[in-house]
Amino acid sequence: MKKKTYLILSAMKEELDGLCVHLPLVSKNEGKFSYSFFENDSIRVYAMQSGIGKVAMAMTMSSFLATHEVDEVINVGVAGSISSKLKKMQIFVGERCCYHDVDVTEFGYSIGQMCSMPLYYECDSELVKKALVIDSKRIVSGLIISGDSFVSKNKINQSWFKNFDNPIACDMESAAVGQVCHTLNIPFLIIRSISDDTSEEGNKAIYDGNLEEACKIAGEVVAKLIQ
């Protein structure tokens, strides 16, 4: 039987370390690639740190996928809540993602929509279903929006809630994962542990304080999902 092969991507070392707590990954070097690896009778896992932001994520993914065949991509890490529906240290599973900082409306596109791309990148529905049953009390699913900014209280743009369909979380990479996987026709999933509430004063300090534990929570969900 063919093993299912996953590419798991995290922007930061802390997020990848959170997965390593729950999965016995070993470090490997292959040419220009450094990654963590796990394999058993049924799955093969490549886990990589991309760097922070949309460009870093897209570059890392595209380079690796050009030379490696994978069945599914999972982007794991932390994110901020922009909705009362999503509390700190809960788990977010993306149903879809989009950019909040793209504007080519002069060419007839919707705000947030990249040229020749859909507005929303849809996560794989089967992966979403599998993730939701892992911890139904703590997991919330919905739309995550991405841009190259760490969002704090004075950076929340109220137009997001008018322009997009009920966004509840924000980060700096998910939509880039969505665009690459959409282009390459690879199923993908976004899993985030909520490190902070962006509407709170001083959420950067809250983010720093919760980061390590939030990364472990998200990593545990991914480990259970793929095994």
Catalytic residues: 15, 196
Residue matched to tokens 């996953």: 6
Q: What angle do CA 162, 177, 181 make, to 5 degrees?
A: 110
Please tell me what DSSP assigns to residue 173. Answer: S
Contacts for 139 with CB less than 8 Å, ≥ 6 apart: 90, 91, 92, 93, 131, 132, 221
Helices (H) and strands (E) in the chain, counts: 6, 10
Q: How far apart are CA 67 and CA 154, in angstroms?
A: 42
Q: Where are the alpha helices (DSSP H) in 119-173?
A: 125-132, 160-163
In this structure, what token pair is assigned to residue 130? 């599998």
Q: Please state whether beta strands 91-99 and 72-81 pair in parallel, antiparallel, or not at all (unpaired).
A: unpaired
